[in-house]
Amino acid sequence: MSVRLSKEESEKRLDLRKETVKKVCLKKTDMSHLISRVAVVLDVSGSMTRAFQCGMVQATLERLLPLAMAFDDDGSMEVWTFDHEFKRYPPITRTNFYNYIADNKISARGATMYAPVLCDVGRYFIQEEPAKIPTYVIFITDGDNADGPDTDKAIKALSHFPIFFQFVGIGGFGTNGFRYLAELDEMDGRYVDNANFFAIENLADIDVIDDASLYTKLMDEYPKWLAYPQVREMIERGDIIDKQKRKLLKKLKRRNGGTESNAGDILSAIIDILLEFLT
């Protein structure tokens, strides 16, 4: 890792990276004037311990925040962490980005399950904060999950809503690599293709991949998804979902029992929302 910059130097780098994002977006169809919500989901399973300790995760956040600064509706990036459970954190912004990981005491610990956090991301953007705006979620993990079937169900259900998932594998190039994510990238049975995947050894290191190349990879599939007629319709109906589904938010809270990790109940509730919306 490179030497840690001062806060002032880091802020200047954020601004430079924001301009790089804009230049990349100008080359993409329908991206030059895009307003979109941006979120990041961070793997905090035990195998990520070294990535947190060496500052790689903090540096990664600082490379991703300019995406939100460039086209998020309020310039912030929603944050989730996950292992076999999940947790929401305060949105990361230009004001609080420096030492965000340490300030929020985020560290690695458990196993790797994708479905619980995917369902909560869906619940947040579909039920709690619906809008006529697409949502772009960067999902960072260092290895395959232990809940493939539940993750399949979640991704298929969420394909009916205007949320796109960009999965990024970091490290993890062992025997199986990222076999599940590679298969998910080509998964059948979705309303629209709502996910993309690529892997890179170190997302934080500009010597591994420079900013322009990184943002180009991150933006590769998203504009194609935005161009689907089904996605345009879903975005236009964003607030209609809100009006139709207020009662289901209460139902979802009851099922969740106030906990953050009841994956089965959350998944069942999202599927209920989907079925009601489509009938």
CATH of the domain at 186: 3.40.50.410
Indicate whether 48 belongs to any domain. yes
Indicate whether 162 belongs to any domain. yes
Indicate whether 35 belongs to any domain. yes
Write down the pLDDT at residue 168. Answer: 95
Indicate whether 161 belongs to any domain. yes
Indicate whether 127 belongs to any domain. no
Write down the pLDDT at residue 266. Answer: 54
Indicate whether 120 belongs to any domain. no
Indicate whether 103 belongs to any domain. yes
Question: What 3 state SS string does the chain have?
Answer: CCCCCCHHHHHHHHHHHHHHHHHHHHCCCCCCCCCCEEEEEEECEHHHHHHHHCCHHHHHHHHHHHHHHHHCCCCCEEEEEECCCEEEEEEECCCCCCCHHHHCCCCCCECCCCHHHHHHHHHHHHHHCCCCCCEEEEEEECCCCCCHHHHHHHHHHHCCCCEEEEEEEECCCCCCCCHHHHHHCCCCCCCCCCEEEEEECCCCCCCCCCHHHHHHHHCCCHHHHHCCHHHHHHHHCHHHHHHHCHHHHHHHHHHHCCCCCCHHHHHHHHHHHHHHHHC
Write down the pLDDT at residue 253. Answer: 46
Write down the pLDDT at residue 23. Answer: 87
Answering whether pTM is above 0.75, one says: yes
Domain span at 105: 7-115+133-233
Q: What is the pLDDT along the chain (279 residues), one digit of tens a residue?
A: 456 889 999 999 999 999 999 888 877 666 667 789 999 999 999 999 999 999 999 999 999 999 999 887 788 999 999 999 999 999 999 999 999 999 999 999 889 999 999 999 998 998 888 888 999 999 999 988 999 999 998 999 899 899 999 999 997 655 567 899 999 989 999 999 999 999 998 888 888 999 999 999 999 999 999 999 999 999 988 766 545 445 544 444 444 444 444 555 555 665 555 555 544
Indicate whether 145 belongs to any domain. yes
Number of domains comprising the chain: 1
